[in-house]
Amino acid sequence: MGCDSSKAANQGQIIWILGYPSSGKTFMADYLATLDWVNVDGDWISQETDPKVLAKFEGLEEAIGKDVNEQPMTAKEWKVTQLYLKGLVDKAKAEAKKGINAAVSFVLYTKKSRDYIRSLVPTIQFVRIDVELSKMMASNRVRQTKMCEGYGMTLAEMYDQHVTPEEKEKLGGEYTDERLDKYFQMKYYSGLKDFEESEKAYTHVIDNNSYG
């Protein structure tokens, strides 16, 4: 029993920072990294180019879209979601095992996902970052502009390539800044469930509206 207690005392802490894109999740995780925490980036797959890795997580974007639109996932979609979340947890646990604190940053829309993560790490703490939508849209546009520049393209070209004809019809037509904002709102900025009363002991909310 004494050995178990010593082992637990040497374990690093794991927290999960969640919130909509451009709410400040990565900023907070990067700040914690200056305090010797490890930042486990939940969006790593957006930079992945290996076809074998991408094939492993085929259907993940569609599964996340179900959460955004508050629709039930299929069994296959939930399975790939669990696989992805477990991968993030495993990275954090590997650091915690070495006595290093780890912060995972990923949106995490539903209590079902939080419950799954707690089944893997019962001691985890969740921190939600809240920011007004208009501020997130402004930050997201800057973020997307930089990303497009890296690929040698404009926001209008990205919109034309990635937004389907059906989506364009819903949005009102060809590219404008406002339609780009509406596109991202439609794809990512809804469906994030509030913490429930039963989660009070391990959840925290930060109002980040003064940032930037």
173-190 pLDDT per residue, tens? 999 999 999 999 988 898
Two tokens, residue 200: 């009070």
Instruction: Give residue-wise pLDDT tens across range 144-154.
Output: 999 899 989 99
Instruction: Give residue-wise pLDDT tens across range 126-150.
Output: 999 999 999 999 999 998 999 899 9
DSSP H helices in the chain: 2-9, 25-33, 51-56, 60-68, 75-97, 111-120, 133-150, 155-162, 165-171, 177-188
The pLDDT of residue 18 is 95
**Residue 36 in this model has a pLDDT that exceeds 80:** yes
Q: Share the mean pLDDT of the chain.
A: 91
Q: How confident is the model at residue 201 (pLDDT cuts 50, 70, 90)?
A: very high
Residue 98 CA to residue 19 CA, distance in Å, equals 28
The pLDDT of residue 6 is 45
Instruction: Give residue-wise pLDDT tens across range 71-117.
Output: 999 999 999 999 999 999 999 999 999 999 999 999 999 999 999 99
* Cβ neighbours, 10 Å, residue 76: 12
Bridge partners of residue 103, in order along the sequence: 15, 39
**Residue 51 in this model has a pLDDT that exceeds 70:** yes
Mean of the pLDDT values across residues 41-62?
Answer: 92
Instruction: Write the CB contacts of 135 (distance below 8 Å, at least 6 apart in sequence).
Output: 209, 211, 212
**Residue 45 in this model has a pLDDT that exceeds 50:** yes
Transcribe 172-210 into DSSP letters: TSS--HHHHHHHHHHHHSS--PPPPGGGGGGEEEEE-TT
Q: How confident is the model at residue 211 (pLDDT cuts 50, 70, 90)?
A: low
172: left (phi over 0), alpha (psi -120 to 50) or beta: left
The pLDDT of residue 3 is 43
Two tokens, residue 54: 């991408």
Identify residue 78 by its one-letter amino acid code. Answer: W
Mean of the pLDDT values across residues 49-68?
Answer: 93
The pLDDT of residue 8 is 58
Give the percent of the chain with pLDDT over 70.
Answer: 95
**Residue 164 in this model has a pLDDT that exceeds 50:** yes
Q: How confident is the model at residue 1 (pLDDT cuts 50, 70, 90)?
A: very low
Instruction: Write the CB contacts of 104 (distance below 8 Å, at least 6 apart in sequence).
Output: 14, 15, 16, 17, 29, 40, 42, 88, 89, 91, 92
CA distances from 173 to 64, 75, 138, 190 (A): 25, 35, 21, 22
